[in-house]
A = this chain, B = another copy of it.
Amino acid sequence: MHDARMAVVLLSGGMDSAVAAAEARAQGFAVNALSLRYGQRHRAELEAAVKVAESVDAARHVMLDLDLRAFGGSALTADLPLPTHRSPGEIGSGVPATYVPARNTIFLSCALAWAESLGAYDLFIGVNALDYSGYPDCRPEFIEAFERLANVATRSGTEGGHFTVHAPLLRLTKRDIVQRGLALGVDFGMTRTCYDLSSAGLACGVCDACLLRLEGFRAAGQADPAPYRSRS
C-alpha cells in the first residue's frame, strides 16, 4: 500500500480508457485496473489492456470473466454482422448493433464491488457522449444515475463515504481525446479500438470504431501509431 488515493479504472485496451487511466494517474490516484473478458470479438484488446495498465504503473490489474454471450443480443458478442459505414458522418444517431445490453452498468457494478473491497471511492470510465452518442450508457444521465446508485447500494456509501464516477472524456470529441492523451503521454500505439481486430492485433480500418478513431487522429493532425491490416 502507498499513500496515493486509490481509484478503480475500467480498462478495455481501447484509446478512450487508456486516456481515462492516464487522467486518473495525472490526478494522483493509484490505478487499480479492471478489465472484463465478456466474450467480446476483439479479445486482442485485452492484451492491449495489460500494456496500458503497465504504462500507468497500475497497483493491480484484475481480469474478470463474465460471459455476456449467455444473454445474446449484440453484434459485439454474438455472430451478428458488424455494421459498416464509409465515413464517420454516415454512422448516424440510432443505437448501433454493437450496443451490448447494459454493458457499462455491469462494468461499473463490478468496479464498484472492487472499489468497496479496496476502500476506494473513485471509479474511472472512458465513456464519451459526443462523437458516438448512440450508446445510452455513455451519456451524462447514465453516469449521474450510477453514481447515485453507488452511494445507496454499498456499505461504504451509506456509512459516510462518497463514491464518485469520473468520466473525464464524457464531453470530449475524438480529436480532443487524441490531444489530451498525447499531452498526458499516452502511447496510442499500444491501444486497440477496432471491433474486428485480427488475432495478431491488427485493426481493420473500416469498422465504425476504426472510422471514428482515424477521424480523431486526422482532426488532431496526428498519425495513428496503431497497426492496421489495410495500411502499412
Contact = CB atoms under 8 A, between A and B. Distances in A.
Nearest to A140: B152
A208 to B, nearest CB: 16
B145 A157 contact: no
Majority SS of interface residues in chain A? Answer: helix
Contact of A136 (B70, B73, B104, B157): B157
B71 A113 contact: yes
A114 B65 contact: no
A137 B149 CA distance: 10
Interface in A67-95: 67-68, 70-74, 95
Interface residues of A, number: 45
Contacts of A116: 73, 101-102
A176 to B, nearest CB: 24
Contacts of A71: 62, 110, 113-114, 117-118
A149 to B, nearest CB: 4
- 9 closest Cβ pairs, A-B complex: A73-B117, A101-B116, A102-B113, A145-B149, A106-B109, A71-B114, A109-B109, A71-B117, A95-B155
11 contacts: A62-B70, A64-B66, A64-B70, A68-B113, A102-B116, A102-B153, A104-B153, A105-B150, A106-B113, A136-B155, A137-B153
